[in-house]
Chains A and B, each alone.
With several copies, the nearest count.
Chain A
């Protein structure tokens, strides 16, 4: 497959659609174990990312990913802004100069993104954050040597559910200690939208 600039645009738009549809739900999740703004933050930032990139021409996937990174970083705000921003920036760096992006390249790029977020957030899997979705997804993708959209979807879905059982130790959720258990992490949920949108795109098999 070749994961093209148009695929990235498609991925971003599908992600944004899911976020806009579930804006209030994300905010509800953040009201339970945060400060109730995650839906508002993500909706603001990803809408803007689509506006910025949509009718713009890009030569490489790295270029558009950099624009997305910068927009997300400046428009989402909160904790998730710099984290998602870092992720997209690492994706861009990882794919820099590439004219063709194959499955392995994409997987490696996502792994770089995950590591970037962990460094930035001083966090690891098991702390009830978006890392708990990214990590299993990346591990799954590395096991495969071709895109498995449905499998990816399943993994992401179950990973989000699993965040319920975790007691938060990072982010605002940490203030809720035991009480954070039983709630889905808002950032994990928004990451699920990101990956289910990606799965949709991969179903198309890229260009």
Chain B
């Protein structure tokens, strides 16, 4: 469908703009009927074998439009369920609540929440409802985006691509038999050691809105942009990949307390429209900078992990690792978009 409402038109391969999430969910289940299921009458997708006996369950979620986040991370060793909201809109309390009830095996449920008011409020209220029903619920709030300053007086930092590492590592801990407390603790450890920053060269449009939610000039980029198009640090003329990589890594390293010879995991994440070729060009420079600083790279991930519809741009994420985090990062995972053998 094309949309011409208001500003420049955006073309999309969809049916009813208001039905995109339902259609997508149906397409996801049909793509992996043996691995995932939709919890009847909800926008919750879960492991086919949920609730998994004697295992702490992990739930993530948020607005749609960030695919493969979050449904692509459902699987043994990662998430038990993802709660999908409308595009860029937090899922509602009742949906999260249904998700919690569906996955709890009695060992408790960890909610992995990206730090956006909507997500926090809806997940928090759902947790209260579940606890009232006697389900143990713990929460971790991811806020890895260094483009926003960390502050308790404001909404604070956003959760972006670093969230995927929280899924992976706490999911491994749960699969290994960790208690809810232990799983929550390691999830918080990841949150404390992961930092990200992104940039965009072209906007995206919410299907139901039909027009881009922000615009950039022909030669402009926005550094520090959020995965919903929230403003970053500055808009300026687009520079080279090397300069972009340098700026993102510098901001991240300024915020991540890391010394020579310490190890990191690197994620170069595409926001949607940017070709993998360009992500690898960014990766080249990122790796060169880390080598100069004598920071060791344990593992690198290049691809689309946390997108913003068809936004053009990328984000860089660094996760500082210790032995425990390395072991959990390398633990097997069956999640479609984060397979680890």
Contacts and interface: CB of A to CB of B under 8 A. Distances in A.
Interface of A: 24, 27-28, 31, 35-37, 40-41, 44, 70, 73-83, 85-86, 120-121, 169-172, 174-176, 179
A50 to B, nearest CB: 17
Interface size class of chain B, counting residues whose CB lies under 8 Å from the partner chain:
35 or more
Nearest to A45: B92
Contact of B158 (A27, A85, A120, A175): A175
A79 B85 CA distance: 12
B92 A81 contact: yes
B135 interface: no
A47 B209 CA distance: 17
Contacts of B206: 35-37, 40
B231 A77 contact: no
Contacts of B208: 37, 40
A176 B122 CA distance: 23
Given A77-B85, A171-B117, A174-B155, 14 more contacts: A24-B6, A35-B89, A35-B213, A35-B229, A36-B206, A37-B209, A40-B208, A73-B125, A81-B121, A120-B121, A169-B155, A170-B154, A171-B155, A172-B230
Given A83-B121, A172-B117, A74 B231 contact: no
B155 A74 contact: no
A74 B92 CA distance: 5
B51 interface: no
Interface residues of A: mostly helix, strand, loop or mixed? helix
Contacts of B121: 79, 81-83, 120-121
A37 B226 contact: no
A31 B215 CA distance: 10
A172 B116 contact: yes
Interface of B: 5-6, 18, 63, 85-95, 116-118, 121-122, 125, 148, 153-155, 158, 206, 208-209, 213-214, 226, 228-231
A37 B89 contact: yes
14 contacts: A28-B6, A36-B88, A76-B92, A77-B90, A78-B118, A79-B90, A79-B117, A81-B118, A120-B125, A171-B117, A172-B116, A172-B228, A175-B226, A179-B231
A175 B95 contact: no
A41 B86 contact: yes
A31 B93 contact: no
Given A175-B155, A175-B231, A77 B118 contact: yes
A92 B148 CA distance: 38
Contacts of A37: 86-89, 206, 208-209
A132 to B, nearest CB: 15
A150 B6 CA distance: 34
Contacts of A172: 116-117, 155, 228, 230
Contacts of B213: 31, 35-36
B158 to A, nearest CB: 7
A24 B5 CA distance: 10
Given A40-B209, A74-B93, A77-B90, A170 B155 contact: yes
Contacts of A35: 88-89, 206, 213, 228-230
Which 4 A-B pairs have CB atoms at the shortest separation, nearest pair first?
A36-B213, A35-B228, A79-B118, A79-B117
A70 B93 CA distance: 9
Given A40-B209, A171-B155, A176-B231, A73 B92 contact: yes
